[in-house]
Structures are given as structure tokens and as C-alpha cells.
């Protein structure tokens, strides 16, 4: 289906940053097009969408999550990190059957769609389930099977093989794959080296958790004599196709290394605060020219996949830390949730923007929601007053997955019923 | 109208804290009743409300806001404090007509109702407008005309007279009044002394902004040789009927003074972070036994009146600062938004709780909202994953003001149209 979207207020992006524009928008074959230059465009051969009183913005990109964990929402809170991980989260993961991960990933997709996320980068443990859920939901996903172990010929082999098989089985224009070694404390240096080699050979992105906690950095120094960032540099892991999640406990020279090597950073403010890991030095990284993206992490540590909540947090936390009301401004925050993610994913100009040739991943917000009213400054409102509930319709790859708050790809009651059974059995 | 609320999941409160209970709830003449002991209760003489799949919780208490500022939402962001206050906010306030404050306060009431707030403590500049809006919206409010000046016989006289006239004209069971001197830098010590005397004589509560910024504390030390808290102690301003908003820049002995004098503190995490004032030492104050309540401040510095957003922030910020995942737990945060506020207002057992004899100020949340699902831990969900959009129905003083998301006391389109005119003329 082709679409002509009329009367809308658009959030567009130029080299000067985001701005608000009123103009019509044309969608054909999954992309935003200029009808004058689009062969597939015929007058009358489209459906008209009236976007009066709506903001049409690019879909948000959640750059770090674990969708399969969504059933653990609000399951282990106000406890210390060791109890959280070893007594609550891991025992559940260890006994969860494959299919459970499908239903709980679908629950995650549902919440993401409802709150305006159209793309997500996922690290998982259950092959095939996250791609299946993302595909059914009609989302765009960049998925990696979490890798751990000693090396690709030892106990790291199984998961690595699974990761490549998953890519072969599920890769498509909307579902792509990332190599996702878990962390330097769960992967040997040898395995990380091999993953970096494989990524270069097969031209794949890599994502890894880095310097999330004080303990991780202290243990790295005690085991390797250096910080996780320096270890990864030595291994040859760093390049412009590398994405580091967290980066909370960073030294000055760690940040310089990331900047020099064009590594992308995903900050997860809710998760880092909630687990007591602290606040990442985002303002400092931004000043060094590091590309900072935004993610929610999984619901077991957030406890929501709502990127609007995350955007507000990102700005408020860093304004508070720096005692500077101009720190982490709305322009930066919206960028972190859109164009910065697109850049990290190698999708500049394709995702996170409304422009000719970009994928038609569009979110329609109700500008008459009380939280946005009056519409004094729409850019500000996305960062400081929106809560995600303003999202009414969501289009991904030119197809509506939610229209006027009705989910078109997900059977909510079925998902709830299946997730309930899993919760009753395993939590 | 009397109500019998059936099939609901209730958030109740005992000395052990909040808990989840399944039982029926009875409402008569504005209060929660035990039908066996309520003379006005007759079988059949009530309407039944089916609250299946709903959480019924006490209405939230926003302990510090300026509802008349709601039209300035997203109007002055990412600018420094001086530009914000002197170039953006004050020039608008100075030219605003009385009636404008009524419409913009009503917009504030609308957002508060939609996000589960039933009571608010308001400091304003336009007499009669905030009480009129709160009354029409059917809300419960504790209102104070902001006082500034030299003394009650000099230039402080006019506003003080207005404050007392406003109380005389509008006071009712739902609309009560507070004496609200603005701050130590806008009121002379003499005026503050006189306000404290008047409060004792007329048995009124007092609310004042205290130690919000570094500059306020530094200026107090330079002018008076002491911190704002110590100045207010010397003046005789402190007692259990005193509410301090902000308290961001506190010294150890300032906190001891508040604890000894049973002063209540309202923290406003979004506003304090956003204006670059920092983070209040909430965990420390809580340890000293100070009653810590929660508020949003006005939308010019927040930019929303959504108490669910504020609850999440309160917990996450203090977990992050203390690198402690058990800091500011859900029990404390929900208390700060309910029973702690009730205590500060002298309404213990009347507000912020579901129990016999309390006002029927009730909020109904959709437990099947994705953000709350699965319902692993409802207490946690209120703090960590709810965004306020789960609120479906709101009852205040035994009357529904919103039912199934339909506003029953406020004409939304009229409010928007009037606010629009004001924005066009004055912003």
C-alpha cells in the first residue's frame, strides 16, 4: 500500500538538527518518496492519511534491550545486584523453554510499538524466538545471540554456531543480525578476538556490554591489568562497527580510545541507576565526539521499554549531575533516540529521519494530549513532557502496525494468556 | 451517590507499609465506609462499580506545584536559570490577566486527574483562580497565595490581605488554604516572622521554597551569616505545620534542624534536575526521620504534572547517586506520593490511604496495560514501570471526575481553546 499523509506536523532533520515542518509526506514500497521522482507513484494509487493535530516523527530506535526478559518486568526490584542476577534473573532464564522467549519477546514488541519504538537492538539467549517475534510484530530489529565462553573451538563454539544459523535462517531487510559477545567477564580474550575476526570477515556489527559496574572494571584491572576498554582495544575489537552498551564506569583515557576508534556507545540511564551502577559520563563522551545512542536495557532492570521515559531521564539526570540546565538538551536527546542509533547501525539516512529514501518507520503522536499541550515547543515536549502514551499510530517499513491505538500485528489477549502461563510456571 | 466497588485489586496500607488486597470497597457521602457501621448505607441504595482487572489505589498527592503555570509547559527549556526566570517566566506572569490563570490552572487539573493525582498543594499569584479551577474540576486542593515583601504593614500587606480574603471566600471541605511566603530571598525576615505568628494564631499550614539553589544558600550566608534553614529556625518559623519545598542544598545540621522541628520536606526531582539545581539528599533526610513528600513543581520547570513520572525519577536518581539498588525503594516512593503528603497536610488517615473513614479519593488503573504486564509485583510497577497513562477512572470525595478516560468535570475542548488564545497573546 502507498500512502499520502496530509495535514501533519513533521519532525524533520537537517545538518542543523531537528525541526518542525508542515508538509505532506509520501510513502511507497516501505520508503519515504518524492512522488515526482518515484516510478511506483500514481495519482489515486494510494491511501490518504489525515494527520491533522498529529506529530509525525521518525520511529525511535532502542539500541540495547533483551526483549525475551519482558515477563520479568517488576519481578526483582529493590534488591542488591547479586540477589537480582544470581538468585532471581538467572534461575528463571536457566529453566525457560524456547517458546516462552517467543511470547515474552512479543510482549516486549507490543510495549515498544505502543510507545513509539520501531527498531530495536536485541541481545538474547533463545535462538529464533526474538527474530520470530519481531517479524510477526512487523518491527525492525538488529538481533544478536549472546555469546559466552572460552573460544570458538572450545565452549564458545555452540552459541557462535547458533548465532550464525539464526542469521542464515531469519535475515531479511527488516531483521538483521549482530555479533553479541556478552562481556569481557563472560568471554575469554581469545573468544573476543575470534568474534572480532569473524565480524570483519562477514562485515557484521558487534555489540557488547562494557564497563557497566565498578566490579567489572576492578576485576578487569585485577585479571588483565587494564580496564575493559583497553583490553578490547588490545584485542583489536574496536572499530566503527562496534557498539558498547552501558559505559558507566569510564576513565578519561577510556573515552579517548572510544572516540579515536569511532566506537558507538549506548547509554541506558534507567537500568544503570536502578541497579545501582550509577550514571554514565554522557556529557563528557558527547564532548569528545563519541556517538551516544539510547537504550532501555531489559525490563528486569528498567522496568519498561518506553523510550520516552528514557529520553526524559537522559536529559534530567545529566542536567542534575552537571548543575547545568543546558546540559543534554532536547536536540541531543532526540538524536540519541533516532539518528545516533541509525549511525551506529550503519543506517544513516535510512532510519531515524523523515527524508526521501528513508524507510517509512513513522510514529504519529496526538498533539492534543494534555502532556503536550499547549504545543509551545514540540521538540521540548518529546524530551520533557511526553510519556509515550501520546503515540496513536505506528508505521514500520510502510505498514501500519498500530492504527488509532489498535494493534494490527499482535493479538494482545493471546500474548497475555501465554505470558501468564509462563509466569505461573517459571516465576 | 454511594458506591460498592467489586472485584478490584486494592492498594491498602498498614503500619507495615503498602500491600495488595482483594476485597470489596464501599463509598458513602464522600468517604470510604464499612457498610455494617454506616447509617447512610442501605442495600440497593448504591451503584456497583466492577473493578475487575483494575488496581484501586489512593489518589496521589502532589505536594508542590503552581497550576497556573501550565500554559508555560515546554516554553523555556535548555536555557540557563537567569534567562529562564527573568527573561521567560516572569515577563509572562507580569502581564497575565486573572482569568488566564483560571484556564491554565484548569489545564493543570486536567493533566493531574488524567495521571491519578487527586490532591495538590498550590502556590499561586492570581487570587481566586486556582480555587475556582480546583473546585470546578472537583479536585482537592491546599492553596496558598504567594507572599513576598518587607512586612505585613509595608509592601507585604497587599498580598497577605488577598490571601486571607481568598481563604474566606473559597474555603470548603475540599478546598483549603495554606500560608505561602515565597522564599527567604523574596520575603524579609520580619515578614516571615509575622507569617509564622499569623499561622499559629489561625492554625494554618505554611509552605515555602527553601534551599533550592546554590545561589540561594550562598546569598543567605552572605546576607544573614547563616543558611536559609538556620535563618528560618531563628525566626521561629519551624514546626510540624511547616512544609519546605525543594531542600536541595542542605548541610548536615540543616537536616538535623528539620528533623528536630518536625518540618515536612517536598522533593521535586524533575524540577531540581532540570533547572540545574541538582539532587536533594532524600536518602539522608529519610534516615534522619524527616517526612519526605513528593511534588512536581510547575510545568515551566518539569514539564509535566505527572506524579508517576516523578515517582520513578525519585527512586532511580537516588539509587544511581548512592550506587545502591535498594535505596529509595517502591514502598518509600509510593509513601512519598500518598501518606507522607497526607501527614504534612494534617490529614493522616483521611488522605493517601484506603481505609474506613478516609476520603474516597480513588484512582483506578488498568492492570492490563502493557507497562504493568505481567502483574508480577504491583507495588514495584507503580514506581518503576507505570507512566500514568494506565489511569482509567478517578474518584474524588466520592464523585467520579473521570470515568473510563472520559473527563466528567472539565470541558477539554473549551480549556484548549481558551489556553490557545492566552498562549497566542502572552507567550
pLDDT tens readout for residues A125-148: 999 999 999 999 999 999 999 999
Q: Among A256, A101, A260, A235, which Cα is nearest to A181's?
A: A235
Does a structural domain hold residue B206? no
User: Chain B, 203-242: which have a CB under 8 Å from a chain A CB?
Assistant: 214
Arithmetic mean of pLDDT, A185-214: 96
Can you spell out the DSSP letters for B399-414?
EEEEETTEESS--HHH
Stretch (H or E) spanning B421: helix B412-426
Q: Which of B329, B249, B341 is nearest to B293 (CA)?
A: B341
Neighbouring residues of A249: CB distance < 8 A, sequence distance ≥ 6: A211, A212, A213, A214, A216, A217, A277, A278
Instruction: Work out the mean pLDDT of chain A and round it to a whole number.
Output: 96
| Nearest CB partner across the interface for B427, out of A78, A376, A384 | A376
Q: What is the number of domains present in chain B?
A: 1
Radius of gyration of chain A from Cα atoms?
21
- Determine, yes or no, domain membership for B46: yes
Polymer length in residues for chain B: 427
**Grid cell for residue A64:** 540495547
Q: In what order do the strands lie in the sheet with A47-50?
A: A31-33, A25-28, A3-6, A47-50
Which residue stretches of B337-411 are H helix? 339-344, 378-384
Determine which helix (DSSP H) or strand (DSSP E) holds A412, and give its type and residue range.
helix A412-426
SS3 at position A108: helix
Domain contains A242: no
Distance between CA A285 and CA B427 in Å, rounded? 36
Nearest C-alpha neighbor of B281 from the set B341, B326, B241, B327: B327
pLDDT digits (tens, 9 = 90+) for A240-296: 999 999 999 999 999 999 999 999 999 999 999 999 999 999 999 999 999 999 999
Q: Which residues contact B230 (CB under 8 A, 6 or more apart)?
A: B253, B254, B257
What whole-number distance in Å separates Cα of residue A153 and Cα of residue A191? 9
Residue A372 scores a pLDDT above 90: yes
Strand locations in B235-384, DSSP E? 242-246, 264-267, 292-294, 362-366
What are the E-state strand segments in B213-359? 242-246, 264-267, 292-294
H or E element at residue A33: strand A31-33
What count of residues does chain A have?
427
Do B380 and A317 lie within an 8 Å CB cutoff?
no
Residue A36's Cβ-count burial label (10 Å; 0-12, 13-18, 19+) is exposed
Q: Is A20 on the interface with B (CB under 8 A)?
A: no
Structural contact between residues A24 and A4, judged by C-beta atoms closer than 8 angstroms: yes
How far apart are alpha carbons B71 and A130 in whole angstroms?
43
CB atoms inside a 10 Å sphere around CB B404: 9
A175, β-bridge pairs: A141
Q: Which residues pair with B124 in a beta bridge?
A: B145
The chain B residue lying nearest A279, using CA atoms, is: B320
For B251: left if phi > 0, alpha if psi spans -120 to 50, otherwise beta; the answer is beta
Model confidence pLDDT, tens digit, residues A95-107: 999 999 999 999 9
Q: What is the C-alpha to C-alpha distance for residues B140 and B137, in angstroms, rounded to an integer? A: 9
The pTM score is 0.98
Which chain A residues touch B416 with a CB distance below 8 Å?
368, 373-374
Can you give the pLDDT at residue A43? 79
Count of C-beta atoms within a 10 Å radius of residue A240: 13
Is some CB atom of chain B closer than 8 A to the CB atom of A72?
A: yes
Residue A39: pLDDT over 90:
no
Distance of CA A124 to the CA centre of its chain: 13
Please tell me the distance from the alpha carbon of residue B178 to that of residue B285, in angstroms, as a whole number: 24
Residues of chain A in contact with residue B324, where contact means CB-CB under 8 angstroms, are: 276
**ipTM given for this complex:** 0.97
Q: Do B368 and A272 touch (CB under 8 A)?
A: no
Of A81, A269, A374, the CB nearest to B325: A81
Smallest Cβ–Cβ distance between A277 and the set B306, B323, B326 belongs to: B323
Contact A52, A374 (CB under 8 A): no
Measure the CA angle with vertex A350, ends A347 and A356; round to 5°. Answer: 160
Q: Which residue of B has its CA nearest to A280?
A: B320
Q: Is A181 exposed, middle or buried (0-12, 13-18, 19+ CB in 10 A)?
A: buried
Could you say which DSSP state residue A26 is in?
Answer: E
pLDDT at A212 over 90: yes
Residue B147 domain-assigned? Answer: no
Q: Is residue A86 part of a domain?
A: no
The grid coordinates listed for A310 are 528514557
Among B277, B296, B308, B374, most A C-beta atoms within 10 A, so best to mutate, is: B374
Nearest by CB to B316, from A74, A313, A327: name it. Answer: A313
Angle at the Cα of A235 (from A234 to A237), degrees rounded to 5? 110
Look at A317 and B319 and tell me if their CB atoms are within 8 Å: no
CB contact under 8 A, A371 and B306: yes
Looking at residue B370, which CATH number applies to its domain? 2.30.40.10
- B9's CB contacts (< 8 A; 6+ apart) are B20, B21, B22, B51, B54, B55, B56, B367, B378
Interface contact B377-A427, CB threshold 8 A: no
Contacting B residues, span 89-128, partner chain A, CB-CB under 8 Å = 107, 110-111, 114
- Quick one: DSSP state of residue B341? H
What does the alpha-carbon distance between residue B275 and residue A319 come to, in Å, rounded to a whole number?
A: 7
Instruction: Label residues B189-223 b or e (16+ Cβ within 10 Å = b).
Output: bbbbbbbbebbeeeebbbbbbbbbbeebbeebeee
Residue A9 binned pLDDT confidence (cut-offs 50, 70, 90): very high
How does strand A362-366 pair with strand A391-396?
Answer: antiparallel
User: What's the rounded Cα separation, in Å, for the pair B285 and B273?
Assistant: 18
Q: Cβ distance A147 to A126 under 8 Å?
A: no
Q: Give the pLDDT means over successive 10-residue stretches in chain B (427 positions).
A: 96 96 96 90 90 98 97 94 89 93 98 98 96 98 95 86 95 98 96 96 97 96 98 98 98 98 98 97 98 97 97 98 97 98 98 98 98 97 98 98 98 97 94
Residue with cell 491498602: B12
A323 phi-psi bin (left φ>0, alpha ψ -120 to 50, beta other): left
Write the DSSP string, A115-162: TTEEEEEEEESSTTHHHHHHHHHT-EEEEEEEE-BS-TTTTTHHHHHH
N- to C-terminal Cα separation, chain A: 43
Q: HSE-up of A31 (CA within 13 Å, CB side)?
A: 15
Distance CA B329, CA A296 (A): 20
B92 is written with which cell numbers?
Answer: 509572562
Residue B397's region, left for phi above 0, alpha for psi from -120 to 50, else beta, is: left
Does residue B356 form part of some domain?
A: yes
Domain of A382, in residue numbers: 3-59+350-407
Residue B372 lies in a domain: yes
pLDDT at A42 over 90: no
**Chain B contact probe: residue of A53, A85, A246, A303 with most B CBs at under 10 A:** A303
Q: In Å, how far is A386's CA from the nearest CA of chain B? A: 8
- Is residue B354 a part of any domain in this protein? yes
Amino acid at each position: 500500500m502507498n500512502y499520502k499523509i496530509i495535514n501533519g506536523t513533521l519532525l524533520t532533520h537537517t545538518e542543523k538538527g531537528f525541526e518542525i515542518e508542515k508538509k505532506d509526506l509520501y510513502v511507497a514500497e516501505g520508503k519515504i518518496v518524492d512522488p515526482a521522482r518515484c516510478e511506483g507513484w500514481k495519482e489515486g494509487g494510494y491511501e490518504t492519511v489525515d494527520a491533522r493535530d498529529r506529530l509525525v516523527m521518525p520511529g525511535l530506535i532502542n539500541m540495547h534491550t533483551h526483549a525475551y526478559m519482558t515477563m520479568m518486568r517488576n519481578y526483582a526490584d529493590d534488591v542488591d545486584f547479586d540477589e537480582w542476577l544470581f538468585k532471581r534473573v538467572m534461575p528463571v532464564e536457566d529453566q525457560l523453554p524456547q517458546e516462552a522467549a517467543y511470547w515474552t519477546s512479543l510482549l516486549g514488541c507490543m510495549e515498544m510499538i505502543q510507545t513509539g519504538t520501531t527498531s530495536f537492538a536485541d541481545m538474547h539467549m533463545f535462538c529464533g524466538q526474538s527474530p520470530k517475534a519481531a517479524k510477526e510484530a512487523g518491527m525492525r530489529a538488529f538481533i544478536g545471540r549472546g555469546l559466552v565462553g572460552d573460544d570458538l573451538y572450545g565452549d564458545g563454539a555452540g552459541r557462535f554456531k547458533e548465532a550464525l544459523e539464526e542469521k542464515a535462517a531469519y535475515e531479511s531487510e527488516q531483521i538483521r543480525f549482530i555479533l553479541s559477545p556478552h562481556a569481557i567477564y563472560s568471554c575469554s580474550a581469545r573468544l573476543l578476538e575470534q568474534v572480532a575476526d569473524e565480524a570483519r570477515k562477514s562485515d557484521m556489527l558487534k555489540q557488547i556490554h562494557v564497563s557497566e559496574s565498578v566490579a567489572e572494571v576492578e576485576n578487569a584491572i585485577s585479571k588483565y591489568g587494564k580496564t575493559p576498554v583497553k583490553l578490547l582495544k588490545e584485542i583489536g575489537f574496536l572499530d566503527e562497527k562496534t557498539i558498547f552498551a552501558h559505559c558507566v564506569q569510564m576513565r578519561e583515557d577510556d573515552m579517548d580510545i572510544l572516540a579515536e576508534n569511532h566506537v558507538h556507545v549506548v547509554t541506558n540511564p534507567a537500568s544503570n541507576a536502578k541497579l545501582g551502577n550509577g550514571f554514565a559520563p554522557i556529557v563528557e563522551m558527547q564532548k569528545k565526539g563519541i556517538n551516544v545512542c539510547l537504550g532501555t536495557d531489559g525490563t528486569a532492570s528498567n522496568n519498561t521499554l518506553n523510550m520516552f521515559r528514557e529520553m526524559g531521564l537522559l536529559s534530567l539526570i545529566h542536567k542534575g549531575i552537571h548543575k547545568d540546565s543546558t546540559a543534554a538538551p532536547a536536540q541531543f536527546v532526540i538524536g540519541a533516540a533516532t539518528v545516533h542509533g541509525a549511525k551506529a547501525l550503519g543506517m544513516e539516512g535510512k532510519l531515524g529521519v523523515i527524508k526521501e529514501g528513508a524507510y517509512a518507520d513513522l510514529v504519529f503522536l496526538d498533539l492534543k494530549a494534555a502532556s503536550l499541550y499547549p504545543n509551545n515547543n514540540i521538540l521540548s515536549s518529546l524530551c520533557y513532557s511526553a510519556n509515550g502514551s501520546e503515540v496513536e499510530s505506528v508505521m514500520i517499513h510502510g505498514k501500519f502496525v498500530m492504527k488509532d491505538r489498535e494493534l494490527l500485528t499482535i493479538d494482545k489477549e493471546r500474548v497475555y494468556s501465554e505470558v501468564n502461563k509462563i509466569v505461573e510456571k517459571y516465576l
